[in-house]
Structure 1
Amino acid sequence: MSEQPSVGDAVVEGDWEYRPLRLPPGVSRKAAAIQLSVQAEFAGWELARTLLFGDGSRKVWLRRRRTAATLPGLSI
């Protein structure tokens, strides 16, 4: 597994755009929270779901409402 978070493709479902994000085992909860806060503040994403794996890695799904204006993507 890579040491950098990997970003999957966006999925559009109704009025929402979803993006999966994989965080490696070495990322602390505090670091993950800071990273997700930055995405929420500057790119309009919010946390939709979190999944913790046995190896300590996490997969989170971010979502944001689709708008006519172009919003910035993930800055990871």
Structure 2
Amino acid sequence: MPKKVTRREAKQLLTELAEYGRWELVRTRIYPNGVKRMWVKKRIHKVERT
């Protein structure tokens, strides 16, 4: 994410990804130059027989 993105905007984007895209946050990193990097992975839902 660009360094101009605020924490609130980043949180909102990641929340939408998690809710609608079934992604989960794995790791975040803020570099000294202000660039934010987030790693997400696809959440896998295992279906059980009933």
Q: Where on the TM-score scale, by shorter chain, does this alignment land: which range? A: 0.7 to 0.9
Gaps of 5+ in 1: 1-22, 68-76
User: Based on CA coordinates, which of the two structures has the bigger radius of gyration?
Assistant: 2
Residue 40 of structure 1: aligned partner: 18
Report which of the two has the higher share of helix: 2
Structure 1: which 4+ aligned runs deviate by more than 4 Å? none
Give the deviation of 1:65 after TM superposition.
3.1
Report which of the two has the higher share of strand: 1
User: Cα RMSD between the aligned structures?
Assistant: 1.3
| Structure 2 length-normalised TM | 0.80
Percentage of pairs with the same residue? 33
| Structure 1 length-normalised TM | 0.55
Residue 29 of structure 1: aligned partner: 7
